[in-house]
């Protein structure tokens, strides 16, 4: 079979696999996967809003020249309940990502084996229900948080960096950690839900197209908004400390979450360097052996 015929067969195979269901699966999987990086952007914005409100109250207590600003019930709900729920879910996903980065093991909520045992099927079904609940709660919290930040007028505002700016290398390391966390989020929660909805619970193997789509969307979101705003999670606590303001539990958790993602990125960098050294050392050894053999042959001649 000629190369042209092989190319045509590969193209026809790829084109036949592109069905409306596959397209719907791709876009649904990609959009739901972006909930995690959007939650980081939302938590950074909520941290900025909380700093803004705390600053107003602080000035009111110091100078008594203005009254604290009153907000609607949606904004109050978004500022009080949403950060707690989002911090908890994102922190659990981040811990699972760190474990996966260290051990390459992940908790898969989809059915990985075709067992006819009723107890096994019940366990798998309950795991899918858990994934559904987590995804729905995540979606509601992100929606309410974005609505509240838009109403308060800070969603499209500039990031408050207070003169503190992280280096490009630290931002890249954070992006690597966020990519790993997003991948674990996809495998643990998004993929079981989408597989159960679109393909009736069939455990599909993750394809390179889906990985590429999530990676490109994450890179675009990071370059557009996330690379600057996410630093509010760690900068706010430092700014409050310098201005003698109270540091809350949300500020500490946001600081901890930021450096947890950075740690995941550093683990990926170290593992990448170790893999590179493991690949290049045998090559250098083979080159050295070949040079020794060639020199010995030259001496014999």
Q: Cβ contacts of residue 15 below 8 Å, gap of 6+?
A: none
Q: Whole-model pTM?
A: 0.81
Q: Where are the beta strands (DSSP E) in 106-162?
A: none
Q: Write the burial class of residue 215 (CB in 10 Å: 0-12 exposed, 13-18 middle, 19+ buried).
A: middle
Whether the CB-CB separation of 34 and 221 falls below 8 Å is answered with yes
Q: Which domain holds residue 151?
A: 15-285
- 115 belongs to a structural domain: yes
- 249 belongs to a structural domain: yes
- 121 belongs to a structural domain: yes
- 2 belongs to a structural domain: no
User: Which of these, 33, 69, 65, lies nearest to 54 by C-alpha position?
Assistant: 69
The pLDDT assigned to 34 comes to 92
The pLDDT assigned to 261 comes to 94
- 301 belongs to a structural domain: no
- 228 belongs to a structural domain: yes
Q: Write the burial class of residue 127 (CB in 10 Å: 0-12 exposed, 13-18 middle, 19+ buried).
A: middle
Domain count, the chain: 1
- 5 belongs to a structural domain: no
Kind and range of the H or E element at 145?
helix 118-152
Whether the CB-CB separation of 60 and 66 falls below 8 Å is answered with yes
- 4 belongs to a structural domain: no
Q: Block means of pLDDT (10 residues each) for the chain, length 301 residues?
A: 58 61 88 91 81 69 52 60 84 92 71 50 77 89 75 57 68 92 92 85 76 92 85 79 75 89 93 83 64 54 51
The pLDDT assigned to 115 comes to 43
Distance CA 68, CA 255 (A): 27
- Alpha-carbon Rg for the chain in angstroms: 25
Q: Hey, is 135 helix, strand or coil? A: helix
């Amino acid at each position: 079979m000629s190369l042209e015929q092989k190319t045509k067969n590969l193209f026809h195979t790829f084109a036949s696999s592109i069905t409306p269901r596959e397209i719907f699966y791709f876009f649904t999987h990609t959009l739901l996967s972006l909930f995690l990086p959007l939650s980081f952007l939302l938590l950074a914005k909520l941290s900025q809003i909380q700093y803004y409100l705390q600053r107003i109250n602080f000035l009111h207590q110091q100078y008594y020249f203005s009254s604290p600003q009153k907000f609607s019930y949606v904004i109050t709900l978004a500022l009080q309940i949403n950060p707690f729920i989002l911090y908890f879910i994102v922190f659990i996903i981040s811990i699972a990502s760190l474990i996966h980065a260290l051990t390459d093991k992940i908790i898969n909520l989809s059915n990985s084996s075709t067992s006819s045992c009723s107890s096994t099927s019940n366990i798998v079904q309950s795991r899918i229900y858990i994934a559904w609940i987590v995804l729905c709660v995540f979606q509601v919290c992100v929606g309410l948080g974005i609505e509240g930040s838009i109403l308060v007028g800070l969603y499209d505002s500039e990031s408050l960096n207070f003169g503190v700016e992280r280096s490009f290398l630290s931002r890249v390391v954070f992006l690597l950690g966020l990519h790993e966390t997003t991948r674990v989020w996809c495998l643990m929660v998004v993929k079981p839900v989408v597989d159960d909805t679109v393909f009736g619970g069939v455990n599909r193997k993750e394809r390179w197209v889906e990985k590429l789509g999530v990676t490109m969307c994450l890179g675009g979101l990071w370059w557009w908004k996330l690379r600057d705003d996410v630093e509010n999670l760690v900068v706010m606590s430092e700014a409050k400390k310098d201005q003698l303001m109270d540091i809350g539990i949300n500020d500490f958790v946001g600081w901890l979450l930021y450096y947890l993602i950075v740690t995941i990125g550093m683990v990926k960098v170290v593992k990448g360097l170790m893999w590179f050294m493991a690949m290049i050392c045998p090559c250098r050894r083979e080159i050295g052996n070949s040079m020794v053999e060639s020199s010995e042959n030259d001496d014999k001649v």
